Every structure is written in structure tokens, then in C-alpha cells.
Chains A and B, each alone.
Chain A
Amino acid sequence: MPSRRIVCRCEDITEEEIVKAIKRGYKDLETLKRYLGVFTGPCQGKTCQSLVIKILARETGRNIEDFLPTTERPPLKPVPLEFLVGAGDR
């Protein structure tokens, strides 16, 4: 049973909301990300992406390997603007 368990901790998105979106036709990671906002918070999906893949596979009856992760973008972890001023100069 889909629950109100929080899956995406940055954006407070629950398992129930994810299942609902999948049932509405948002059935891949790039699309779910843009529909629900999962993977867009401070963790950038590093915490929740594997959990969402698991739910997607279960709800669509497909394999976990079928779902390619969304594009990783810099920075690897949050970096303050003041560190970026002149970054790479040394």
C-alpha cells in the first residue's frame, strides 16, 4: 500500500504522491523529476533517486535497470558562491 512516508526529504514528497504521478502517466525519472520536483532539492537526488527508482519499478512492473538516472550536474555538493569567485585561478 502506498503510504504517506516521505521519500524525497528535501522537497517533502511522499510515496503516495509518487504513486499517484506514475498512475497519471509520469513514468520515467526525467519526467517524474519535472512533475513532482523530486531530485531538485539540496541533495539533488543523492538520497531519494534510488528509492524513487524502486517505487517506479514496482508500480510499472519493470526492472530497476530499465530506469536510467537523471543527469548529474556540477557542483558535486553545494558550494558557497564566495568559494567560486576566482575558482580555478590557482
Chain B
Amino acid sequence: MVVVGAGVVGLSIAYHLCKRGLTNVVVLDKTHLNGGASGRCGGGIRAQWGTKENILLAKESIRFFERINTELGCNTFFRQGGYLFLAFTKEQAEQLEKNVRLQNSLGVKSRMLSPEEAKEIVPALSVERVLAASFHDKDGVIFPWPVVWGFAERVKEMGGEICEHTRVVGIDAPGGRVKRVKTDRGEIETRVVVNVAGPWSAEIAKMVGVELPITPVRHEIMVTEPIKPFLDPMLVSLETGLYLSQTMRGELIGGVSIPDERPGIQYGSTLLFLRRMARVVTELLPQAAKLRVLRQWAGHYDMTPDAKPILGDVDGFERFIQANGFSGHGFMISPAVGRLISELIVDGKPSMSLEPFSLERFLVGKVEREKVVIG
């Protein structure tokens, strides 16, 4: 079978397939590993979501990340300092309360905190305008690069193949049956194709006439020089869409919402982003004012209309499987998604229904939007 896209989700799918004994897996990528969103993301891992499906996928994935270093034989710097969500208006506080109730009902032990309790967790935090906060101590941050290498090395070890710098140029699927994948380096006969091409997934689907409602949106991110540990949790502001965490190497890494960002694939950096980031960070953490920015870069969220991924088979096709549209949270749910898609391929039926993630949900118009997309 062919997996299109060697990002963390594609590699997790390949890894879980190989583990089930299906080692005739080829993962294709048009550039190099860690070159796309997986290698550009902030590494946040959280179960504090606003819809049942995301909470369940994230909860299972956190358990995987807790054992990832031994399972993949790599050092991922996974650190569970929790996620601290900050609300600044009554409406935002109510959203947090609603989320926490839903999370608690699904076994996620998140809780509401007063501004004073939030300050106890991050003493450097300016809480004057904070109305309420929520916290979950099992959330955390991970260094994305070694996760991708870890998955890739284990896939190769088990007999899977990863072809970098190999671009898919066409897919033959007469009558909805996948026959072969054409690349700029030759053709591969296969009956299964998994489309995990992130912001390029719509382009891949179009090759067989399938329309995916995916819009790539650039998200910028920056890193500061390393300093001694002072920020334990990942900080999230519902007011500005800020997320900020301190890595185990001591750097601060984070991004902020740019509401007027135009859709499309572009990797450029803007001063607008740095300015907004500097304003928001120094307002919340006045002590960080003298901290120096080392670098800014950008990647893409592959947004769907309800900010939830598209997973599973597509009507009218046999084994043209989608795993895309992750809308900025593919990395953190990649372990669970890898397992479910591998079950769909190996057993014909995954252990958790993929119906809420079907492409067809957009046709019947029955969607519940995920509201807690940050960045």
C-alpha cells in the first residue's frame, strides 16, 4: 500500500501497519522528512478540546506519548507540564467551563482555576485581566523532530519503505478501484492509497476527482534564546490565540492568531507576526521583555470547515483512504489516528467509529465545529 505524505501522521499510519505485520508499505514524500507542518509545529500535546472526538483521540495519544521514548527508541523531550488556558471575558470563561465538563465526562481530569491559582502555576504570569483558567496536568509539549525520525527509523527497520523527494503525479483508480500511483520517479502498483498530504491533500484527491474541503492557512511561529526553566505549562490565551511553552532546552516557542491571514501556501515571515507576538507575550509575562528572539518561521494548518480531520474511506471508492484536514492538531493525535487507520486497512473496521470524521459529513451539513483551535 502507498501512503502519500511522510509527515508524522503518515509515518504513524505506516508504523502501525508494520507493527500489524503489513510491511509492504511505501511512504512517499515530495520533499524531505520534517520539511512540512510536522517539522514546523509547536509540539503541543493536549486533551483539553471542545468536542468529544478530539478529546478521545488526544487522550489515547497522550498515553502513547508517555511511552514514546521507549517504544520508538528516541529522545523526544516530552514534558508534561500541563496546558494552562486563560479566559479574559465571561464568554471565554463559560467556554472553558463547558469544555472542562465535557472533558471530565470522558475521563480527562482537567479543572477550572482561579486567576490566583493560575499564578501559582506560573508565578511570572500577569493575571490582572485574567477572569478564569483551566488546567490539565497530563497535557504537555514534545520536540517534533525526533518523533518523526523515531517513527521513520522504526518503519524502515520493520521493512517499510520511505521515499523522500518523490512527488505523486497521478493515481489510477478506474471504477473507484485503486490500481497504481504514478510518481516522478516511477509507478507503484497498489490497491490501497492513504492520502496524508496535509495542506496538499486536496491536490492529491483531485487526481481521482474527489473534492476535499481543505484550506491551507499559514501559521507563523518563533523561538527565543534559551533561559533557565520558569514556564512549566503551555500557556494559551483565548483572547489572542497565543500559545507559548518552554522547551526542555530552555527556549520559549510560540505563536499567535493572525485573524486576517489569507489562505494559501506561503512560507514567508512577517514583521506583523513578530510585533503581535512581542506585544502579547510581554503583556502576559513582563519579565520576558528582555528575552531575545532567535528565529521565526512558518507552516500550515490544513483547515476543514469544522476544524476536525477527514478520516477513512470515501464514498464511491475502494481503499482511497483519507487522513487529512487536521486543522492544526494533527501532530498531537497522530498516534491514535495511526492506529485507527491501520485497523481500517488490516481489520476492515477500526475500533472507534470514523463516522464523525467522514468526508460525507460536509454534504449532509451535520457538523459540530471544534472551537478550541489555537494559533
Identify the A interface with B (CB < 8 A).
Answer: 28, 30-31, 34-35, 37, 40-42, 44, 71, 73-75, 78-88
Query: Once bound together, how far apart are the Cα atoms of A31 and B277, in whole Å?
Result: 28
Which residues of chain A are near B90, meaning CB under 8 Å? none
Which residues of chain A are near B32, meaning CB under 8 Å? 28, 30-31
B278 touching A84 by the CB < 8 A rule? Answer: yes
| Additional 14 contacts, C-beta under 8 A, given A34-B34, A81-B282 | A30-B35, A31-B32, A34-B39, A37-B145, A73-B297, A74-B269, A74-B271, A74-B296, A75-B274, A75-B296, A82-B278, A82-B289, A83-B278, A88-B271
Which residues of chain A are near B288, meaning CB under 8 Å? 81
Instruction: Choose among A30, A37, A81, A88 the residue that contacts B293 (Cβ–Cβ < 8 A).
Output: A81
Which residues of chain B are near A73, meaning CB under 8 Å? 269, 295-297
Smallest Cβ distance from B331 to chain A, in angstroms? 15
Nearest B residue (CB) for A89: B275
Query: Once bound together, how far apart are the Cα atoms of A80 and B149, in whole Å?
Result: 33
Query: Once bound together, how far apart are the Cα atoms of A48 and B188, in whole Å?
Result: 41
B275 touching A81 by the CB < 8 A rule? Answer: no
Instruction: Choose among B149, B277, B295 the residue that contacts A44 (Cβ–Cβ < 8 A).
Output: B295
A35 touching B149 by the CB < 8 A rule? Answer: yes
Size band of the interface chain B makes with A: 20 to 34
A44 touching B294 by the CB < 8 A rule? Answer: yes
Smallest Cβ distance from A52 to chain B, in angstroms? 16
Q: Which of B39-80 contact A (CB under 8 A)?
A: 39
A42 touching B225 by the CB < 8 A rule? Answer: yes
B145 touching A35 by the CB < 8 A rule? Answer: yes
A79 touching B275 by the CB < 8 A rule? Answer: no
B269 touching A34 by the CB < 8 A rule? Answer: no
Query: Once bound together, how far apart are the Cα atoms of A57 and B31, in whole Å?
Result: 21
Is residue B98 within 8 Å, beta carbon to beta carbon, of the partner chain? no
Query: Once bound together, how far apart are the Cα atoms of A75 and B270, in whole Å?
Result: 10
A78 touching B225 by the CB < 8 A rule? Answer: yes
B274 touching A84 by the CB < 8 A rule? Answer: yes
A79 touching B293 by the CB < 8 A rule? Answer: yes
B149 touching A88 by the CB < 8 A rule? Answer: no
A85 touching B293 by the CB < 8 A rule? Answer: no
A78 touching B294 by the CB < 8 A rule? Answer: yes
